[in-house]
Structures are given as C-alpha cells and as structure tokens.
A and B are shown apart, each in its own frame.
Chain A
Amino acid sequence: MTMPVLADLLRWLAETPPEFREDPPLAAVLGDLLESLGHPDMDVAALARGEAGLKPRAERNRRLWILAACRLLWHPSFRLSDLPADGLRHLFAKELPRVAAITAADALVTEEDRREELVRRTLRAVGMGLAGETLLESEDRFCQVDSVEGRLVARGAAERERRAREVREAMAREAARMAAARYSSE
C-alpha cells in the first residue's frame, strides 16, 4: 500500500454526500466507522456527546466537523490501515472540538484550505504521512492551514501566533542540521 495522495483525499471530501452535512445521528456514524476501523470498544457515546456546556449552535458545529472527519476516514487509505485508537480519540475529543470552536463547518464546503486542514489534522492524529512529502514539508504546510493558530491573530494574539510560527521554523531549521552532539543512545 502506498501513502495517500493529498489530491485524492481533497476530492473525496469535496464529494461528501449531502446527508453527512445534514447532521445525522453522530453516535451511529461514529460507531459504524470505529467498528470498521477495528475499534468497536471505543467509547462512542462519550465521543459523540463531547463536553457539556456548549450552546446548541456550537454543539452542532462540533458534530459537523466530526462527521466530516468520519467521511474522510471512510476513504480506503484510512479504512485499509490500522489506525491507533489513541490518535483517533485525540482527533475526535480534542483536535476537532478546538477547530469547531472557531471555524464554521460550512467552510469545509467553501474553502479548500479548510478541507486540507481537516486532512492534515487527521493524518497527524493517526500518525500517517502524505505521498511525496517529508515530515518537515508536511509540518510547514500544516502551519499554513492551521486555523486554530491562525485564529489567534484575529483574536489579537498576534504575538503568540508569531512566536508559535518562529518556534516551528527554528526547530525545522535545526532538524535539518542535526548538529548537536548526544552522549548516550536512547
């Protein structure tokens, strides 16, 4: 099996059947998906429920992002791989609620960058890469489509965003050099 191709995954998302966007019962969709991925024991009800206290509109937006991720994970590249339960749990319980808190799921229809963000977040969560991309290239591209970090600018936290970007760039430069000695094997 080869690594997935970004264009294929973007096309797959763009061709999402309309019923995925009509807020079907999330627990049923998640349950089907996780069973198909070999994780029938994951706590689907808790993942579907999310954290208490969200207003109905925000809660609906969270569900729509998770549904979009479910659609993505039905792609054969994911379905035929063994995906780690921890990574999936992190995606559904942490990553996607954070994105949903600041970005409307409608943007997945209108903005290719948001579809790419979903693809890259999902790949990172399950520890997969894209065909033809090094890890550093994929980190760099993720920086560009990461709406959570990007939104900090809009919230007036430009300083923090700039810092995060600078840390990532400095680490990428150093990773390429690998010029610091180590004193034991680990």
Chain B
Amino acid sequence: MPLDDAAMFPLLTEASRGLLTRLREHPAAPRWTHRCGDRLTAEALARVRGYADSLKAKRNSSPRGQPPWLGEFLDHCRRDVPFYRDRLPLGASLEAMPATLREDLRTGYWRFVPDTADLGDILTYWTSGTSGTMVMVPSCPEAPVKYLPVFEAALRALGIGMEGGNRMSIVQAMCQRSAYTYPSVMSYFGGAGLARLNLNPSEWRSPADRAAFLAEFTPELVTGDPVGLVELASLPLREPPKALISSATALLPGTRSKLEAAFGCPVLNLYAMHEVGPIGIDHGNGLEILASDIHVEILAADGSPCPPGVRGEITITSAFNPFLPLVRYRTGDHAALDLSAPAPRLVEFEGRAPAVFRSASGRIFNSIDVSRVLSDCPLPALSLIQRADGSVRMRTRCDEAMASLVREQLVDLFEGVGVEVERIPKESPWEGKLIQYRSDMPVTEHQKDD
C-alpha cells in the first residue's frame, strides 16, 4: 500500500503542504517517478536537532582515541543486536573485536536490527556498492535526516548557513538514463523544499522545463554525483547555490575547479555509504570526519591498525544509524588518517572512480546506468572503456552465451556504437580493481576543455 502524505510527512504544516503541492503540480516540473517524505515524527526530529547541537558544540576528535560513546555502544550491541550477541567478547577493547564484513550484512541484514528498535519505524534502502551485489540496508527516518546537520557542519566551517523555511533548499541533481525522482519537504529545515531531479532531458516534458523549474525553485544547496552537477552547470540558474556537495563517485580536481568556476561557490566532496552514513567531507584538503558517532580506524591487510599517515582499509564503527549499528565494518576503500589538522581527516583516499559515457545519439549517462543494465548478468569483474572514437571495449569473465547477452545489452544502451566483449580466461589474472569504468571521449563541454 502506498503511503499517504500524513504518513510520509508526519510534521507537514499548511505552508509546507502548499510548497509540496506547487512542486508536484508546477507546469515545468519533471515527470516525477516517485513519492518520498522525511517520515520524521516530533520525537525523531528532536533527536536530530540534539545531534545537530552536538555537532555545533565541538568538532569531532574521535579517531584520536576511543570515542566516549563506544563502551555503551558495544554493551548495546551485545545486549540488543542479534548479530553481535554471541560475537563480541566482553570487556575487550575495540581492537579485539572481530571485523564485520559486507558479506555478513548481505546474508543476514535482519540480524543487525536491534531488538529494541520499533519496526513501525523501519526503512529499507538498497545498495550495490562496488561489488555489484545488492544489499538490503535497514534504516529509520532519523538516519537519512542526520545527513543534514553533517552537511550544515561542513558548510558552517566555510561560513555558510542554511536558511530553510518556505523555499526550495536542496536539489539533488543526477543525469542518468532513468532514476527515482520526487519532490519533498524537510521538517528539519522548517518545511523547506527538496527535489531529486534527473536532468536527462527525456525525463522532462520539454528540455526547456529544466531551467524554468530551477528558476522557480532555486536551491540553497545542490547535492548530486559529478555527472549531474556538470549537467546542471550547463543550465542557466537565476542565482547560484551557496554550495555544491558531490558524492557517489570520486570528484576529480579538474571537475571541481570547473564546477566552482561555473557556480562561483564552494564544491565539497562527500564520501558516504548507505550502510554507514556520511564518513567524510572534503573541501580540498582531505576528507574531514564530521559525524561524531562514526569512528574510523585504518587497518592493514592483516587487521592490525595503521599509524597515522599510512594507508590501509577504512574500517568503521558507527552508531549513526540506530537500526544498523556497525562494529569494525570493513568498507573496502583505502586511505590514511591525517591527525595534523584541528579535525581528523582521511587523505590519499582511493574509492570509486567516475565515468561518463555517450551513446551514438549523443545521450549522456554514467556507470550507474551500465551497472543497472548489467545487473542481471553475474559478472564477477568487469572493465568497460569507451574509446575516444566512441567504441566500447568490455573485458570480463564469463562464458560465450553470457558474453553475447552482455554485448546485446551494451549495444542497446550505447544505441548501436561498436561494442567488443573480450572474455578473460580463468587462467589469466585479473588486473586492477574488480569493477573498472573509463571513458576516453569528451562527453561535456567542460571535459572538452580538460
């Protein structure tokens, strides 16, 4: 049963209802594909506000030592969380706790939900990560909303404040073949508007509607992946946002400079995972760890802690999402801790790489679309490169029948450009990361200049 507005927006006011209706019914609005609310009750909102106050009070310093909340958190995990109940040794230090793997979450996600959690509040997100296999992520309304005070903390450090109220505050900009899009309002920002937009022109009644809609609903903050943000830079905005927050894939320095020049505002890079929360935000000097309930360790391959400055696997102990407490969760991403600045940072980060492709007709899309198209193909590893001439070379491990299917799907997605699928035999080692995307062709005006 779809939810009604009362369930999606428990704190809806007359003013925010009016804004929501305008967003839904505006003649230049895109063809919305979804309905989403913040689901936040007064009690949950109060908890998020308390969290925001704690972030205002002091900068996070937890990676410098054991955070003060850790003892109680581990007790809670042992007592209330089925996955940890017989797993965490009593009274031991964090370093003695076993690691939690993505595989544990994938095969037993329900065991992470505390017995004390009210299932009336449960939310479900999906994440595919770099491994390509889908994982169900339990969550609750306050967990996604807690991103907002973390964003505020990052913006505050740059002297930027969010206004909220009866206006559009956040636009999430994407440019994908297809995407969930919806208008919403945020009780955390006094009922201000949120719109998740797919800037792919085919998702709008008319391509000109994109600029018209943004002129009517100009956001304070734009979040999105680099592809969506670059597309947004091609549209005329009535006034620039106060800041951009890029996430989902790495933000290359050249792209950041172009975006800063185009919008005349700071561009931050967010490193976040659905199952963890916002781990770090970078504005040019490393990923600052802002969330006070996310504790970061850097571990070597043998599980021993790396000293500051030495790269290793980012490993997270997190109370950020009350419905998914994580103890020593190994992210698969790598970085080093830098404790020389006032707030701890992750430097030399190596995560997911961005890639933007162009079809024969000139349509722009990104690696998320490729992953989606290939989601039913059990490929353990793939390397997809679009050459400067537009042709596509895919390397993977599979049998001939699967290679044909993959070729068909890619020809369809790239709308007829030449696609070559090379099968790497089991005897040959796989070079580099398991999932690699790269484009050698300029796909936007910005990238042509690079």
Q: Which residues of A are at the interface with B, using a C-beta cutoff of 8 A? A: 1, 3, 38, 80-84, 86-87, 90, 95, 124-129, 135, 139, 160, 163-164, 166-168, 170-172, 174-175, 177-186
Contact = CB atoms under 8 A, between A and B. Distances in A.
B126 A181 contact: no
A84 B101 CA distance: 14
Contact of A180 (B123, B148, B270, B397): B123
A180 B378 CA distance: 29
B136 A82 contact: no
B166 interface: no
A84 B107 CA distance: 14
A181 B378 contact: no
Given A182-B172, A186-B273, A82 B380 contact: yes
A186 B248 contact: yes
Contacts of B73: none
B194 interface: yes
B378 A82 contact: yes
Contacts of B147: 183-184
B107 to A, nearest CB: 6
Given A171-B136, A186-B272, A186-B274, A181 B37 contact: yes
Contact of B270 (A1, A174, A177, A184): A184
A87 B379 CA distance: 14
Contacts of A95: 107
B151 interface: yes
Contacts of B182: 181
Given A82-B381, A178-B34, A184 B245 contact: yes
Nearest to A79: B399
A179 B8 contact: yes
Given A95-B107, A180-B141, A171 B124 contact: yes
9 contacts: A82-B378, A82-B381, A84-B133, A95-B107, A170-B119, A175-B126, A177-B3, A179-B35, A183-B151
Closest 6 CB pairs of A and B: A38-B426, A127-B133, A82-B380, A175-B124, A185-B248, A174-B124
A127 B398 CA distance: 15
Interface string B190-224: 00001010000000000000000000000000011
B122 A179 contact: no
A125 to B, nearest CB: 7
Contact of B138 (A1, A139, A171, A177): A171
Nearest to B245: A184
User: What is the predominant secondary structure among interface residues of chain B facing chain A?
Assistant: mixed
B288 interface: no
A124 B107 contact: yes
A82 B2 CA distance: 39
Contacts of A166: 119
A124 B104 CA distance: 11
Interface of B: 1-3, 7-8, 34-39, 82, 101, 103, 106-107, 109-111, 113, 115, 119, 122-127, 131-134, 136, 138-139, 141, 144-145, 147-148, 151, 170, 172, 174, 180, 182, 184, 186, 194, 196, 223-225, 228, 245, 247-248, 270, 272-274, 278, 376, 378-381, 397-399, 401-402, 405, 426
B398 A1 contact: yes
A87 B272 CA distance: 24
Contacts of B107: 90, 95, 124-125
Given A179-B35, A184-B270, A171 B3 contact: no
A163 B115 contact: yes
A177 B119 contact: no
Contacts of A163: 82, 115
A174 B8 CA distance: 12
Contacts of A172: 124
Contacts of A174: 122-124
B39 A82 contact: no
A179 B138 CA distance: 14
Nearest to A143: B110
A164 B245 CA distance: 37
Nearest to A175: B124
A90 B3 CA distance: 38
A180 B136 contact: no
A177 B2 contact: yes
Contacts of B122: 167, 170-171, 174
Nearest to A136: B136
A163 to B, nearest CB: 6
Given A127-B378, A175-B124, A179-B37, A160 B82 contact: yes
A74 to B, nearest CB: 15
A119 B113 CA distance: 26
Between A3, A86, A124, A171, the greatest number of chain B beta carbons within 10 A of the residue's beta carbon is seen for A171
B273 A178 contact: no
A164 B126 CA distance: 19
B194 A181 contact: yes
B449 to A, nearest CB: 24
B155 to A, nearest CB: 13
Given A160-B82, A180-B141, 9 more contacts: A1-B398, A128-B378, A177-B3, A181-B186, A181-B194, A182-B36, A183-B147, A183-B170, A184-B223
A184 B126 contact: no
Contact of B380 (A83, A90, A180): A83
A180 B34 contact: no
Given A160-B82, A167-B119, A180-B144, A185 B228 contact: yes
